Structure 1
Amino acid sequence: MILTGPIETACVIAVVAISVAALLNLYRLAVGPDVLDRILALDTLVVNAIALIVVIGVWYGTAVYFEAALLFAMVGFLTTVAFCKYLLRGNVIE
C-alpha cells in the first residue's frame, strides 16, 4: 500500500503503536503473577484489538469495521464480567 497523505501515515504509526502495546499485553498475559493480572491483561488486549479494528477502518475508509469493533467491545465486556464473577463466586449463572 502506497502512503499518499497524512492520514495514511498516522494510521501506519497507530497500527505499529497498538501492535507494540498488544505484544506487551501478551507478555503480561503469559507471565502475570496471578489470575487477576491475567484477566486485566486480557481485557486490555481486547481494548487494543478494538483500537486496531477502528484504525484499520479509518485507513480503508469504510464503516463496516466500526460495527465489528462495536460487537467485539460488547463481547469483550461480557467475557471480562463473566471471568470476574466466576472468580468471586465460583459460578457465572446463579
Structure 2
Amino acid sequence: MMLLLNWAGVFALLCFSLGLLCAALRLMRGPTAEDRVLALDTVYINGMLILLVLGLRFEEGLYFDVALLIALFGFVGSAALAKFLLRGEVIEP
C-alpha cells in the first residue's frame, strides 16, 4: 500500500509540474490581460498543490502552512487584478 502511495505522489507531482509549466507559458505568451490573469491563477494553484503533495510525501507541517499562505495571497491578488481589469482601479475613493 505504501508503494502505491509513493507512486501516486510522484505521478501527482509530475502532473502538477506539467500544469505549472503550461500555465507559465500561457502567462508569458498570453495575448490578452485576462489570459495572463487566468494563467497566474493556475500558476499559484499548481504551486500550492505541489507544496501539499510534498507535505504529504515528507510528512512535514511547514509545507501546509506555506500552501495556506499561497492560497490566501493568491486569492486576494486574483480579486484585486479582476477588479482592476473591470474598473481600472483597485481602491475606490
- The normalised TM-score by structure 2 is 0.90
Q: State the alpha-carbon separation in 2 of the partners of residues 48 and 90 from structure 1.
A: 28
Quick one: which amino acid aligns to residue 13 of structure 2? V
- CA deviations on 1:47-80 (whole Å, 9 max, x unpaired) are 1001000000000012221121111100000001
Percent of matched pairs sharing the same residue: 40
* 1:16-35 matched pairs, under 5 angstroms: 16-35=14-33
Q: State the alpha-carbon separation in 1 of the partners of residues 87 and 11 from structure 2.
A: 42
Q: State the alpha-carbon separation in 2 of the partners of residues 25 and 18 from structure 1.
A: 10
Question: How many positions carry a matched residue from both structures?
Answer: 91
- Structure 1's unaligned 5+ residue stretches are none
Question: Structure 1 runs of 4+ off > 4 angstroms?
Answer: none
Aligned to 1:46: 44
RMSD of aligned alpha carbons: 1.2
Structure 1 stretch 44-53 or stretch 59-68: which is displaced more?
A: 59-68
* 1:78-93 matched pairs, under 5 angstroms: 78-93=76-91
- The normalised TM-score by structure 1 is 0.89
Partner SS state of residue 5, structure 1 = helix
Aligned to 1:55: 53
Q: State the alpha-carbon separation in 2 of the partners of residues 87 and 61 from structure 1.
A: 40
- Structure 2's unaligned 5+ residue stretches are none
